[in-house]
Structure 1
Amino acid sequence: MAESIHTPELASGRVRINDIYFLAENDSEFDPLKGAANLSVSRNHARISYDPAQKKYFLLADEGGLPSRGNKIKIFKTTDAVIRADVLGMNYELADGDQIELGGETKLLFQIS
């Protein structure tokens, strides 16, 4: 069974498995030679979903990624626009090449292959 860092329990009691996660210093897999621990991204920060009817990908902010929790999410569009994803449950469209910033420190490149 995966450790709790990989499978956060949601308020509904359901458990979601994270595809991307950042290790804390107390995690058994943490290696300080590979980098510092990331304390700015929560276990329930954001998720990406695909809508087959629209043939589009969307980012949704979770509770852990909201400014009220001291966190934030930004999407840096390929058009140079910057979108703050700070409304719970709202769909923010993603396009190939967009950059997603989590917690003001971590950037992910969104690519469709």
Structure 2
Amino acid sequence: MSKDQLIVITAGAVGAVVLAPVALSMAGFTAAGITAGSMAASMMSSAAITNGGGVAAGGLVALLQSAGAAGMSATATAGVASVGGAAGALASGALGFLKRLRK
């Protein structure tokens, strides 16, 4: 693995961890609760309809709201970093492939 590849993978992992709270907030999962009219509100409504009027504890909406309100747990942070690193690895591979095509 080259130094450039390692940098892109690390940037993907760090970027994902840094941007996850921003993405949660933009989707409507905030410390003050779910923002009215947001994607989070739509997800909550769908989950409530599916579950007979309530949002299931431990479900996706509940987990995202918990992360939006209190921050991500160490496990969630590690998961997000793993996905970001994998995305960085894919980007690094794609860039390498494109460089080889140019030669």
- TM tier, smaller: under 0.3
TM-score with structure 2 length normalisation?
0.23
In our comparison, the structure showing a higher alpha carbon Rg is: 2
Q: Larger helix proportion, structure 1 or 2? A: 2
**Structure with a larger share of its residues in strand:** 1
Instruction: Indicate the structure whose relative CO is greater, using CA pairs within 8 Å and at least 6 residues apart.
Output: 2
Provide TM-score, normalisation by structure 1.
0.22
